[in-house]
Amino acid sequence: MPFVLNKQTMQNEAGFPPIFQNWQTAPVQSGDEISFDVATAPGEPASRWSLELPAKPEEAEAALAQAETQLRATQALLDEAPDRLDAFVSRLQSGTDAHFSLESFAVEGMPGQPAEADLLPWIEYFEPGQISFDGQGITQGQAKEALDQLRQMIDGLVGQILYLAQVETRQGGALLARSLVNWKGDLDTSWGEAISPEQHDLHQRSLALALASRIAMLRVIMTTTQGAAKIAALIAAPGGALLALPAAWKYVSRILSEIEKYKTSSA
């Protein structure tokens, strides 16, 4: 069974929004409080999304709304990442600055050192002497760690694509519904007994959130690979795009770590 993103993996990369932690790989279940009659073999592996909601209706609504807000913020950050990287590369290519400090890339409203500042030591690592900057350089160990994290993310995405998507919604520990989405997008859903219209809506929103988060994970990979190509413009060494992958990965992760500030400023 290939590696699939789960809570432990996400803790290794602090930039990832909490909604990505809901995914894991698990066998398709046919019991557990409700029957689940679908055209699939019991025990077949699936990419499983499990959303746990509080028992109180108002708290469940608030928790789900928060997750939806996290997803919208994630999508917005992924939207802005390419333009931010373009501006960063253009600034370095212009040669107007001879010396860079972490503070010189401060972006108003962003917490701490922004993603652009964190890219500076990577450029120096790939192309020593090209720029001068204040701060600690990148070690080979850090570069390998970033590349390993990227590989894990890609392996996880492959698992998401190859396997069925099983989406569960629970409220106060009780299983409300379980949906199975196949590779063609066909959907089978089994519901618990005495589900209220409000609980029906909770699962529908959870399902939409789960599927949208898978698309967001795909966008993370696409943004990373496209970003590596842009960073490669600053690297003279052959195979610059491949060399730049770990730097682009860390850049995208760093941008996603700005999610809390983005949510605050957009409220």
Minimum mean pLDDT among 36-45, 148-157, 178-187: which range? 36-45
Beta bridge partners of 100: 133
- Give me the torsion for CA of 142, 147, 151, 157, rounded to 10°: 90
- What percentage of the chain reaches a pLDDT higher than 70? 70
* Alpha-carbon distances, residue 241 vs 1, 85, 95, 135 (angstroms): 29, 14, 21, 24
**Which band of pLDDT confidence, cut at 50, 70 and 90, is reported for residue 42?**
low
pLDDT of 125 higher than 60: yes
Four-residue CA torsion sign, 119, 235, 142, 14: positive
Q: Identify the pLDDT of residue 26.
A: 60
Q: Which two tokens stand for residue 64?
A: 């789900």
Q: Which two tokens stand for residue 6?
A: 């789960």
Kindly report the backbone phi and psi dihedral angles of residue 14, in degrees, each rounded to the nearest multiple of 5, phi listed first. -65, -20
82 burial class (0-12, 13-18, 19+ CB within 10 angstroms)?
A: middle
pLDDT of 151 higher than 70: yes
Nearest-angstrom CA–CA distance, 109 and 261: 7
For the chain, give the number of residues.
267
Q: Identify the pLDDT of residue 104.
A: 55
Measured CA angle at 263 (ends 18, 22), to 5 deg: 15
* Alpha-carbon distances, residue 212 vs 41, 159, 218 (angstroms): 26, 16, 10
Comparison of pLDDT for 261 and 41, the residue scoring more? 261
pTM for this prediction? 0.79
Question: What order do you get walking across the sheet with 23-27 strand by strand?
Answer: 23-27, 45-53, 164-171, 174-181, 187-191
The answer to whether residues 248 and 147 touch, using CB atoms and an 8 Å cutoff, is: no
Kindly report the backbone phi and psi dihedral angles of residue 68, in degrees, each rounded to the nearest multiple of 5, phi listed first. -65, -40
Most confident of 88-97, 144-153, 211-220: 211-220
- Residue-wise pLDDT for 3-23, tens only, equals 233 344 344 444 567 778 788
Strands annotated E in 40-148: 45-53
Nearest-angstrom CA–CA distance, 81 and 85: 6
